[in-house]
Amino acid sequence: MRNKKITRRELLRNLSLATLAGISFPFLSCTKEEKEDFLQKHFREMTTDEKKRLIAKWEQRYQQKYGKKFVISTQEALPNTLWGYGLDLSRCIGCRRCVYACANENNNSRQNPQLHWIRVIRLKKGTLINLENSEHYYDPKQVPEPGFMYMPVQCQHCENPPCVKVCPVHATWKEPDGLVVVDYNWCIGCRYCIAACPYKGRVFNWAEPKLPPEEVNPEVHYLGNRPRMKCAVDKCTFCIQRIREGRYPACVEACPTGTRKFGNLLDPKSEIRYIIENKRVLRLKEDLNTEPKFYYFFEA
């Protein structure tokens, strides 16, 4: 047996060739789309030009998939805005109109998985604090039921969001206007954020979302209601695609009792500021120091 001595140069060459082959193998074995998606940059690190190309790519893809002309907005946060939400607990009757209006507006998966961003919980009157004993599968013939109150819970858009803190890849962050958003393509699906959220504000696409093409809403925001993919986490964005244009969120428009209020916390004339100044407000689980921007209030 010949004791062949491998030179340093040969070793390095062979090693690097092997590494190159190893790296390129997955790229040769996947489709062009998957390759593009894998190499796509983090949304916040893209230049304007890259964003433009990205939008064109996704618009084309969505058109192919759903047969509708999509308009994907990347509108940035408006200056001097901090979005806040108000919800009147003495007025909510638990009719769930908001739940379905939200799912329709935001292109949520309809069945298997059925993903809702709003969860209306039912509490016995006098047990507001006792969230553990709440029920959100209630199904009576008519609401409101005597002796119960209803409390819709959705993403609270915390100023100090635990979900953002735990994300290992920075796929979720707080925008300058206070919205907590997700880059669905950057998300790796580890669901740490779901575990960290004390409000159950996030849901997970356990399977390829099922969204009938005729029910698709083609006016979308890249960080909001564009159709998601399997293994992405999504959540309420206060309808980022609407509010950055000055429109009320879909849940506000759907509520038949006028329970839901929305506005800019930095604008002293806004509805939400009126509520904070004139009503008795509470924030959910204040003791956790998450500083939610979602204010529940009562009629005096």
Residues that bind another protein (CB under 8 A): 86, 93-97, 99-100, 111-112, 114, 116, 119, 136-144, 243, 246-248, 252-253, 255-258, 261-263, 269-271, 274-275, 278-279, 300
295/284 Cα distance (integer angstroms): 8
Supply the minimum distance, in Å, between the C-beta of residue 293 and another protein: 15
Q: Are 233 and 203 in contact (CB under 8 A)?
A: yes
- Residue (58 or 148) nearer to another protein, CB: 148
Measured torsion, CA atoms of residues 288, 290, 291, 293, in degrees rounded to the nearest 10: -120
Measured over the CA atoms of residue 39, residue 40, residue 46 and residue 52, the dihedral's sign is positive
Enumerate the β-bridge partners of residue 219.
71
Name the phi and psi angles at 64, rounded to 5.
-65, -40
- Residue (226 or 260) nearer to another protein, CB: 260
- Residue (70 or 238) nearer to another protein, CB: 238
- Residue (112 or 289) nearer to another protein, CB: 112
Supply the minimum distance, in Å, between the C-beta of residue 77 and another protein: 16
Supply the minimum distance, in Å, between the C-beta of residue 95 and another protein: 5
Supply the minimum distance, in Å, between the C-beta of residue 51 and another protein: 26
- Residue (187 or 275) nearer to another protein, CB: 275
Q: Are 203 and 193 in contact (CB under 8 A)?
A: no
81/265 Cα distance (integer angstroms): 7
Three-state secondary structure call for residue 280: strand
Supply the minimum distance, in Å, between the C-beta of residue 104 and another protein: 11
